[in-house]
Amino acid sequence: MKDVEKSSMKVIVEKGQKYVMNTYGRLPMALVKGEGTWVWDQEGKAYLDFVTGLAVNSLGHGHPAVVSAIQCQAEEILHTSNLYWIPQQVSLAEKLVKNSFADKVFFCNSGAEANEGAIKLARKYAKEHYGEDKTEILTLLDSFHGRTLATLTATGQPKYQKGYDPLPAGFSYIPINDLEQLEEKMNDKVAAVIIEPIQGEGGVVPAEKEFLVKARELCDQYNALLIFDEVQVGMGRTGKLFAYEHSGVEPDVMTLAKALGGGVPIGAVLATDKVAAAFKPGDHASTFGGNPLATAVGCAVLNVLTGEGFLEKVQEKSANFRNKLQNLADKYQTGEPIRGEGFILGWPIKRLGPEIVAAAQAKGLLINFAGGKVLRFLPPLTVSEEELDQGIQILDEIFAEIW
């Protein structure tokens, strides 16, 4: 790490272009330190981090509970294999079950893996209970579920699928919140419907309660599983521990990742007992999934999130932030209202998105532009009111200058 810190940004970029596969349009900056809501780049410049690793660092950077869990577990044991019981994994599974609809948990390493596991589980369950022809997976346009071939196919955005033909068969798509098409597409061949309660990469688009209620009803009618992808919106991001709690609609399967590990890679598939029973030994696995380090950190994260008053404070702060964003949107007449829930908020704008993101970076605020249409805000759940106000002030300055 010391060698990296001593290298200039130019050298890092040159070496990165030479040795790292070109799969990201990376900004010419490197973040080398973080504390709370703040991060510092290679040159020592400080930024308010309202991206948080795309909703990963929900407790901010260097949270004492996360740091302590990593240090303590690293001194004990990092990896054993799922050939043996892992106490930390059992503890995290218990915490997730006791705080959700689910009865069982499978652990993996990422959101894509979690969604891949959910798709496999749905098909295995459908074949076991209803026959070989029940294989169809219904997903939503503008969704995002991962980069494996199956989750890429589940993702309702053709731009991500280009060049990877032939894609796996058995997937179909409808627009979010389109009740008519949902009813038209549902039939006895549908094994599962996959929904993000709020589409993140698609532009911070919430699924309406009426749509989720109808999806639950139709899944019950046609013996299909309802899967909620809460990889980005779960773990307190919306002000509740899980986004499905806002609608009261419970899924059969839910996927988690990102914030669950506080920055350490982890993914999870949660399911009811009846559905989880479709997986038998040998049906699915993950070498690193649920290892002692990741699950010890996951336990620490959950302890913080479920602490007295924590999520209530998130709701209060996020409501104030949303109101201030809406005041700016009204002030500069940008069009559609602010949308989202908790600390996943989107500001729809019809122009200058990349320019606003760049200007914010120059002024010390990190945000991003999602779906080619929305400024997305993902501050840590631990952000202070003062830091949120700093962000609002920077945005006000930018829009005054360039809008």
Phi/psi at 236 (nearest 5 deg)? Answer: 85, -5
Task: Give the type of residue at 396.
Answer: D
First to last CA, the chain: 41
Q: Is 307 exposed, middle or buried (0-12, 13-18, 19+ CB in 10 A)?
A: exposed
CA dist 301 and 288 (Å) reads 19
Each residue of 379-399: b (16+ CB within 10 Å) or e? bbbbbeeebbebbbebbeebb
Q: What is the rounded distance in angstroms from the CA atom of residue 359 to the CA atom of residue 264?
A: 30
| Residues forming the active site | 144, 229, 258
Q: What are phi and psi of 370, to 5 degrees?
A: -105, 140
Farthest-apart Cα atoms in the chain, separation: 62
